[in-house]
Amino acid sequence: MTLTAASSRVDNIRRSLVSLKMPRALEMLDATLRRIEQGQIDGIEAIDDLLAEELSLRENRRIKAALRMARLPIIKTLAGFDFSFQPSLDRNRIMALAGLDFINRAEVVHLLGPPGTGKSHLATALAVEAVRAGRSVYFIPLADLIAILAKAEREGTLREKIRFLCRSSLLVVDEIGYLPVTPGGGNLFFQLVNARYEKGAMILTSNRGFAEWGDVFGDPVVATALLDRLLHHAVVVQIEGSSYRMREHAALVPENVRTIANINPPPAPKRRGRPPLKAVADLSAG
């Protein structure tokens, strides 16, 4: 092939890459051609490298866009979690959750523990793993969730909002029990939970034991109905330990503040059948 013909062929490749919207491959083309000329790679390797670069760019863009849509407040990863600071936490169990089988099974993962023990970090990290795996994710604190549901109810669009919140493969509801639930909020949350029941996976974080959910939601009956569904296909992870955020200043905090009662969730159900309502009612009343 003559030099002129080769140059024309390269120009055609450039135009094709522009038409195909492959900016990364276009950017790498000249460097790849030099490597071919120097005998570092052959034609097949060159094509493979260009396609790999383009796919990597597109995957990074997809993940970035999906993370924005997930509304994650900050990006946290499992690699950045200090398991040594929380020895009560089974690292292997968390890494098993990162396999995302719980999403396929439409299960609910409960992360329970005192403030600062890593619940939100783990919930966010699992959400990031789900995004990377191509799953749709939506992350929201409970207070914000109830606020948007209440707004939708006032505007007559509650059904549409619940339908929207059911689209995600994984719904993460953070900070259950941190702020008081507004009157009627528990009922709104129940409607969403009921709509996702056995259809979509959830991760819930809370600093309150299940026996306190009647107080959290201001209605033992609603709490019982919530637990009936949220504990049916459930994975309960309890974290016992000190606050990671306060680790350098623990001595400055009064003892009565540092001493936080343990959260003792019931064991995860062993069968797939719905648990008796009485059993869940006992949890709420306990």
Indicate the SS3 state at residue 75: coil
Collapsing DSSP to helix, strand or coil, 66 comes out as helix
Instruction: Encode pLDDT of 38-66 as tens digits.
Output: 999 999 999 999 999 999 999 999 999 99
User: Is residue 237 located within the same domain as residue 257?
Assistant: yes
Residues 277 and 193 in one domain: yes
Pair 226, 163 in one domain: yes
Q: Which domain holds residue 88?
A: 72-285
Beta bridge partners of 67: none
11 and 79, same structural domain?
no
Q: What is the pLDDT of residue 268?
A: 44
Q: Report residue 198 as tokens.
A: 């056995």
0.85 surpassed by pTM: no
Q: How far apart are CA 193 and CA 230, in angstroms?
A: 8
Residue 7: pLDDT band with limits 50, 70, 90: confident
242 and 261 in a common domain: yes
Residue 281 has a CB neighbour count (10 Å cut-off) of 18
Considering the domain architecture, whether residues 179 and 271 belong to the same structural domain is answered as yes
Note whether 262 and 255 are within 8 A (CB): no
Pair 216, 251 in one domain: yes
Last residue in a domain, options 38, 69, 100: 69
Q: Which of 80, 107, 116 is nearest to 239 (CA)?
A: 116
Convert the pLDDT of each residue in 209-236 to its tens digit. Answer: 999 999 999 999 999 999 999 999 999 9
How many structural domains are present in the chain?
2
Phi/psi region, residue 101 (left: phi>0; alpha: psi -120 to 50; beta: rest), is alpha
Q: Is 227 exposed, middle or buried (0-12, 13-18, 19+ CB in 10 A)?
A: buried
Query: What percentage of residues in the chain have a pLDDT greater than 70?
Result: 83
> With 0-12 CB in 10 A as exposed, 13-18 as middle and 19+ as buried, what is 110?
buried
Question: Does one domain contain both 127 and 217?
Answer: yes
More confident residue, 286 or 155: 155
